[in-house]
Amino acid sequence: MSLLPITLYGDKILRKKVSEVKQVDNEIIQLITDMFDTMRNAGGIGLAANQVGANKSIFVIDISNVEGYENSKPLILINPEIINYSKEKIIFEEGCLSIPDMRAEVERPESITISYYDSDLKEHTLTVKKLLARVMQHEYDHLKGKLFIDLIDSEIKIKMKEPLAKISKRDIAVEYPVSTSKDYQLVL
């Protein structure tokens, strides 16, 4: 098991659009394995590559620890593209490993259709709803340089200003490894 440091709010890579994966080699397979280990160690259900400092269009999901989703299989999404959003929206509380101990209600489409490649670069298209749709949208946003706090009410965001500043300064206690610099980037 290899744990990678998780980038925190304020780290530059979290605001950049990531690069497309051109080929899946041993480094990419190792990154994916390490992302699953890192996500599970931190108690997460989704993790984007830039959350571990990698400038790659990849995210991983495992919601099998969530009640009602025990039979869900872990997913690897490479170069994902959301191709359809439902008109129906739902509000649900979200959190993020890059913004520890902060949660807020976020409105998102209830279902999406997403195309992506697996680790064999085989293309897939899925239509998902509820929790899986929400997690995919959250991680997809990461790959575009967006965070869930970009989608919340401005009054709530004002209340989060001081805690976000503490996270950015790393003036917080977390139980998983985090990046030590705002310029942290994993070299692949």
What percentage of the chain exceeds 90 in pLDDT? 93
Q: Residue 188 pLDDT > 70, yes or no?
A: yes
pTM: 0.95
Q: Is the pLDDT of residue 61 over 80?
A: yes
Q: Is residue 132 within 8 Å of residue 72, measured between CB atoms?
A: yes
pLDDT tens digits for range 65-77 = 999 999 999 999 9
Place of tokens 């919601």: 63
The ranges assigned to domains in the chain are 12-168
Q: Average pLDDT in the 83-88 region?
A: 98
Sequence-distant (≥ 6) Cβ neighbours of residue 164 within 8 angstroms: 9, 10, 99, 102, 149
Asked if residue 186 has pLDDT above 90, the reply is no
Does 4 have pLDDT greater than 80?
A: yes
Question: Which one of the listed residues 70, 105, 139, 155 is annotated catalytic?
Answer: 139
State yes or no: is 139 an active-site residue. yes
Output the CATH code of domain 12-168.
3.90.45.10
Instruction: Reduce the DSSP state of residue 85 to 3 states and report it.
Output: strand
pLDDT over 90 (residue 187): no
Mean pLDDT of 124-149: 98
